[in-house]
Amino acid sequence: MTTAPRAIVLPTVPPADVAAATAPAPHPRGRWLALARIGWGLGVLVEAIVFLYSVPALFTLVHQPCPAGAICMPAQMSLADFQKLGGPGPAINAYAVYVLVTALAVTLVGATVGGLIAWRKWRDPMGLFVSLVLIGNASSSVLLGASPTWNMATGSVNVPEVLARSGPVISVVGIAAEELLYPALGAFLLTFPTGRFAPRWSALFVLTWIVQDALFFVAAPFPIISPVLYASVGGPAAIQVYRYARRYTPVQRQQTKWVIFSLAWTAPLNIGYSVAPVFWPTLNTPGSVYRMANIAILLTYLTPVTLGIGIAILRHRLYDIDVIIRRTLIYGSLTAILVGVYFGMVVGLQSLVTALTRQTNPQPVIIVASTLLIAMLANPLRRQVQAAIDRRFYRAKYDAARTLEKFAATLRTETHLRELSEQLMAVAQETMRPVSVSLWLRESRKTPVDERPVGRA
């Protein structure tokens, strides 16, 4: 009896790349770390004070309608909505509780993620900076995007109503915190995840965030603000693309994917919410659920980004973001296609039936037939979408899968050991792309026939 030889493929990975990807970044010590901790503590204290003073003011403010022609906070209902809900009473009280609970939930999420980052990255100034930005952005949710403006004609500053109701000291502190938070957000986008401006001249883009903040403060016309706005957004995006392609390690690329993936959720939600009344005008009637949901959309649209940043810093090694992105692309595209086909069939067939029979009522047969067709198309269409996405976005994985399929077919027919060994090494080289491949075959040990154990009769 012979023992089949065993083959072991040993891919060799460059030691330098492993060290670069796994070695922890050196933590700054001494004076700069102490200053970062002091700054973080003061920043968190200021944000907490402003938040605690602003919550009662917000609760009072949302009980009142926005006067006609006035610039109000998004949380305040228009006079038409206020009257549709019956004025002061249970409905308005319920709306105020709903706004306050949503703001508190968003603040709790941001503060928790920021606190965890500070706890885990207490020796890293970049970690403390990111923590402070997240906590500041979360606590400012009670302001609901309201920012101070300066009236050049009168020389007076228009303070957001929530801050104005909290007293003059809180107004000044709150305005200063809000004005500093915006450029800090730009600096974060330009330095994540390394904590450094690379290339160094990219730090100049922080100036665009400062200029944009100043233009909003003086209430400049939007045609003047828009070029600076596009530069402040497009500049960091282009720099991140450059750094992702040229400078990031594999770990840093995974962290960047988490942030981009979380950002990708905000745009479709906001666009879909904004264009929905174009197709269904009845949604935008006074007192409708759609109008009442506006404040929740404004408050929570950055929450996925906060969670994505937290995962990127704390737990990015636990979850495979590539698998999540791939499945999101596949099932998101599949859902969009199936919904489009379903509504297209229902509308098209109903229009055909109306033209032929002059019956405008929806036909149950059309809905049932469309549903059955969608059920039949789901699996074949999913395979086609998956193959198309793999070919377009995951080419290496797609080619590797095809190579392994061919090798599996070869195993069923090839019997020559040398040919099989060469093909095995070629498959390992093509799919794993190591620097070198070694194949070790253990020699078989043959037992002579006369030495084999013989059972007793």
d(CA 83, CA 80): 5
Give 9's pLDDT tier (boundaries 50, 70, 90): very low
Strands 156-158, 149-151: pairing kind: antiparallel
Q: Are 142 and 162 in contact (CB under 8 A)?
A: yes
The predicted model gives 203-210 an average pLDDT of: 88
pLDDT: is 266 or 130 the higher one?
A: 130
d(CA 253, CA 99): 37
Model pLDDT, residue 162: 75
Give 17's pLDDT tier (boundaries 50, 70, 90): very low
389-407: pLDDT as tens digits: 777 666 556 555 666 666 6
Among residues 303, 297, 304, which one has the least CA distance to residue 273?
297
User: What is the maximum alpha-carbon separation in the chain?
Assistant: 116
- Looking at the DSSP bridge assignments, the partners of residue 437 are 11
- Side-chain-side CA neighbours of 378 within 13 Å: the count stands at 9
> What is the percent of the chain with per-residue pLDDT over 70, rounded to a whole number?
71
Where are the chain's structural domains? 30-249, 330-393, 398-441
pLDDT: is 218 or 311 the higher one?
A: 311
d(CA 447, CA 23): 51
Q: Count Cβ atoms below 10 Å from residue 266 Cβ, excluding itself.
A: 16
Phi-psi region for residue 88, left (φ > 0), alpha (ψ -120 to 50) or beta? beta
Among residues 175, 186, 177, 181, which one has the least CA distance to residue 150?
175
pLDDT at 26 over 50: no
Q: Which long-range contacts (CB under 8 A, 24 or more apart) does 68-75 make?
A: 71/158, 72/161, 73/143, 73/144, 73/145, 73/146, 73/160, 73/161, 73/162, 74/144, 74/145, 74/146, 74/294, 74/295, 74/298, 75/99, 75/144, 75/295
pLDDT at 450 over 60: no
Lowest mean pLDDT: which of 53-67, 292-306, 312-326?
312-326
CA pseudo-torsion sign 417, 421, 427, 428 = positive
Which residues, including other chains, have CB under 8 Å from residue 124's CB and lie 6 or more apart? Answer: 25, 27, 28, 195
d(CA 192, CA 209): 16
Q: Are 330 and 382 in contact (CB under 8 A)?
A: yes
Model pLDDT, residue 320: 65
pLDDT: is 142 or 47 the higher one?
A: 47
Lowest mean pLDDT: which of 121-135, 224-238, 363-377?
363-377
Among residues 119, 136, 139, 140, which one has the least CA distance to residue 37?
119
pLDDT at 18 over 60: no
Among residues 260, 267, 238, which one has the least CA distance to residue 308?
260
d(CA 97, CA 39): 34
Which residues, including other chains, have CB under 8 Å from residue 250's CB and lie 6 or more apart? Answer: 21
Model pLDDT, residue 293: 81
Model pLDDT, residue 73: 74
pLDDT at 191 over 80: yes
pLDDT: is 13 or 212 the higher one?
A: 212
pLDDT: is 344 or 359 the higher one?
A: 344
Model pLDDT, residue 451: 46
Model pLDDT, residue 454: 46
Give 5's pLDDT tier (boundaries 50, 70, 90): very low
Give 42's pLDDT tier (boundaries 50, 70, 90): very high
Work out the mean pLDDT of the chain and round it to a whole number. Answer: 75
Question: Encoding tokens for residue 431?
Answer: 């799919």
Degrees, nearest 5: CA angle 259-265-266: 95
d(CA 210, CA 337): 43
* Burial of 116: CB neighbours in 10 Å, binned 0-12, 13-18, 19+: middle
pTM of the predicted structure, to 2 decimals: 0.68
Q: Mapped to the 3 state alphabet, what secondary structure does 218-272 carry?
A: CCCCHHHHHHHHHHHHHHHHHHHHHHHHHCCCHHHHHHHHHHHHHHHHHHHHHHH
Q: Are 400 and 430 in contact (CB under 8 A)?
A: yes
Question: Encoding tokens for residue 270?
Answer: 């906001």
pLDDT at 455 over 80: no
d(CA 74, CA 190): 29
Question: Encoding tokens for residue 166?
Answer: 């909290």
- In this structure, what are the phi and psi dihedrals at residue 74, rounded to the nearest 5 degrees? -60, -25
70-126: pLDDT as tens digits: 667 777 788 888 888 887 888 888 888 888 888 888 888 889 999 999 998 888 888
428-438: pLDDT as tens digits: 666 656 666 67
pLDDT at 129 over 80: yes
d(CA 4, CA 44): 67
Which residues, including other chains, have CB under 8 Å from residue 51's CB and lie 6 or more apart? Answer: 107, 139, 142
Lowest mean pLDDT: which of 4-13, 249-258, 413-422?
4-13
> What is the percent of the chain with per-residue pLDDT over 90, rounded to a whole number?
2
Model pLDDT, residue 3: 42
The predicted model gives 378-382 an average pLDDT of: 81
Model pLDDT, residue 418: 67
